[in-house]
Amino acid sequence: MNRKKLQKLTDTLTKNCKHFNKFEVKCLIQLFYNLVGDVTEWQGVVIGLDRNAFRNILHVTFGMTDDMIMDRVFRGFDKDNDGCVNVSEWIYGLSLFLRGTLEEKMKYCFEVFDLNGDGFISKEEMFHMLKNSLLKQPSEEDPDEGIKDLVEITLKKMDYDHDGKLSFSDYERSVREETLLLEAFGPCLPDPKSQMEFESQVFKDPNEFNDM
């Protein structure tokens, strides 16, 4: 990609992105193209990270492990649902990932947890997301009993309107009361430590910025 094009891309993306400055956007674009590999752009062919590549990044860079959650994160990034994260989706997603406000993050997390996208997190969805969260006790008669109980506990805590499922307003209210519940059903945001490592690695060379 030539320099001019890059400059232009950076300018447009910076304009649309509220959390990153120009330098950061440039760094992230560079990183994106490094990850995608130096493929020339074909007419009609979308350049971007496919599901596997993206999941790999999530796992290696941000220490995520839960397959299902990673899938949901991919969907969260892939706004146009074309099975691949392009450069603007990448910048937009990361701006939320790294710098998002609580509101943005809540919205994003709720979308991640709302598996079927019906606007509610149902008991079944919770169960699905939590099913691996407890150590299986061999002595237990029903191995799922603990999970069910955990779902009940969560509902008791978060379901303010007592309709047996979490609406966004239920979720929002709970999170505002206790921020820890933002990622209630699984880590879908980078943990602070890997976030810090990532940022220090990517945004490390301000001299380059000055050169421009």
Partner 1 sequence: MGVALTKSAQWTTAAGFGTGTLEITPLNEGILKEIIMFVESFIYKHPQEAKYVFVEPLEWKTNLDPSAFESGYVVSATTVKSEEVDKNGQPLLFLSVPQIKIRSFGQLSCLLFIAKDTKLKEAQACIEANRNPVAKILGMDYNTMKEDPSILNILDKITKEDDPESEVKMKMAMLLEELDLHLLNYSLKHASLEIHLNPVTIKKDIELLKHFSGQGEQTVLESIEYTSDYEFSNGCRAPPWRQLHGEICYVLVKPHDVETLCITCCAEGVFLNGGKTDDEGEINYERKGAIYKDLVTFLKHKSAKFSENMSKQVSTRLTEEQQKVKDQPKKAPKKKEADALHKSITSSNKSKLENNQINFGKNQMTKRLEPSVNWKTDVDFKVISVRDTQEKKHGGRPEKSTPPVSPGRAQLVHKNADKTEEIPSESSSESEEDEEPPDHRQEANADLPSEYWQIQKLVKYLKGGNQTATVIALCSMRDFNLAQETCQLAIRDVGGLEVLINLLDTDEVKCKIGSLKILKEISYNPQIRRNIVDLGGLPVMVNILDSPHKILKCLAAETIANVAKFRRARRVVRHHGGITKLVALLDCAQNSTEPAQASLYDERDVEVARCGALALWSCSKSYANKEAIRKAGGIPLLAQLLKTSHENMLIPVVGTLQECASEESYRAAIKAERIIENLVKNLNSENEQLQEHCAMAIYQCAEDEETRDLVRLHGGLKPLASLLNKTDNKERLAAVTGAIWKCSISKENVTKFREYRAIETLVGLLTDQPEEVLVNVVGALGECCQEYENRVLVRKCGGIQPLVNLLVGINQALLVNVTKAVGACAVEPESMVIIDRLDGVRLLWSLLKNPHPDVKASAAWALCPCIQNAKDAGEMVRSFVGGLELVVNLLKSDNKEVLASVCAVITNIAKDQENLAVITDHGVVPLLSKLANTNNDKLRQHLAEAISRCCMWGRNKVAFGEHKAVAPLVRYLKSNDTNVHRATAQALYQLSEDANNCITMHENGAVKLLLDMVGSPDQDLQEAAAGCISNIRRLALATEKARYP
Q: Contact residues for partner 1 (CB under 8 A)?
A: 98-99, 102, 105, 129-130, 132-135, 137, 146, 149-150, 153-154, 156-157, 178-187, 191-193, 195-196, 199
Q: Given the complex with partner 1, which of 84 and 96 has the nearer CB atom?
A: 96
Question: Residue 112 CB, nearest distance to partner 1 (Å)?
Answer: 13
Could you tell me the CA-to-CA distances from 176 to 122, 149, 158, 181 in Å, in that order?
Answer: 20, 24, 11, 9
- Residues ≥6 apart with Cβ < 8 Å to 104: 96
Could you tell me the CA-to-CA distances from 18 to 93, 95, 167, 204 in Å, in that order?
Answer: 12, 8, 28, 20
Residues 50, 27 contacting (CB under 8 angstroms):
no
The amino acid present at 31, given as its one-letter code, is: L
Q: Given the complex with partner 1, which of 7 and 21 has the nearer CB atom?
A: 21
Q: Given the complex with partner 1, which of 179 and 201 has the nearer CB atom?
A: 179
Structure tokens at 101: 């406000």
Residue 30: name the closest of 52, 9, 51 by CA.
9
Question: Residue 155 CB, nearest distance to partner 1 (Å)?
Answer: 11
Q: Given the complex with partner 1, which of 84 and 98 has the nearer CB atom?
A: 98
Question: Residue 10 CB, nearest distance to partner 1 (Å)?
Answer: 20
Question: Residue 76 CB, nearest distance to partner 1 (Å)?
Answer: 18
Residue 186: name the closest of 117, 115, 83 by CA.
115
* β-pairing verdict for 166-167 and 120-121: antiparallel
Question: How many of the other CB atoms lie within 10 Å of CB of 3?
Answer: 8
Question: Residue 68 CB, nearest distance to partner 1 (Å)?
Answer: 12
Q: Given the complex with partner 1, which of 7 and 137 has the nearer CB atom?
A: 137
Q: Given the complex with partner 1, which of 82 and 140 has the nearer CB atom?
A: 140
Instruction: Please report where in the chains the tokens 């799922």 appear, as a residue.
Output: 144
Return the SS3 of 49: strand
Question: Residue 178 CB, nearest distance to partner 1 (Å)?
Answer: 5
